[in-house]
A = this chain, B = another copy of it.
Amino acid sequence: MSISADILRGHTDTIILAQLMAGDSYGYEINKSISQQAGGAYGFKEATLYTAFKRLEQNGMITSYWGDDGPGARRRYYAITEAGMRQLAADRQEWSETKTVLDALILKEED
């Protein structure tokens, strides 16, 4: 069972920021981590993921650097910034409010 794209729209950046709070990471790993935490119910498409990284970096929410270490293909690591942390805090607050409002509107009296 997967969740439709439009429902997740707008949460993409928040989810990535939340992942980066656990420490620097790179695209592929972040995505695997998300899928795992979502119980396989959800995962970003690559295009979505890299579009989001670009957007977040342009907005100063994250910074990136090339990791030279590991085996396999080169990895671009991302780190959350101060601004990113502030944004995440705000997003979490908004998510809580959204839940309250949508529960009232969608589940109302559950006919």
Contact = CB atoms under 8 A, between A and B. Distances in A.
Provide the main secondary structure of the chain A interface.
helix
A23 to B, nearest CB: 11
A9 interface: yes
Nearest to A21: B111
B105 A92 contact: no
B107 A39 contact: no
A4 B10 CA distance: 8
Interface in A29-44: 34, 37-39, 41-42
Kindly report how many copies of this chain are found in the complex they form together: 2
A92 B102 CA distance: 10
Nearest 7 pairs between A and B by C-beta?
A6-B10, A7-B10, A21-B111, A9-B9, A15-B105, A38-B101, A95-B106
30 contacts: A3-B94, A4-B10, A6-B10, A7-B9, A7-B10, A7-B11, A7-B95, A7-B98, A9-B10, A11-B105, A11-B106, A14-B106, A15-B102, A15-B106, A18-B106, A18-B107, A18-B108, A21-B109, A21-B111, A22-B109, A37-B104, A37-B105, A38-B101, A41-B97, A92-B106, A92-B107, A92-B110, A95-B106, A95-B107, A99-B99
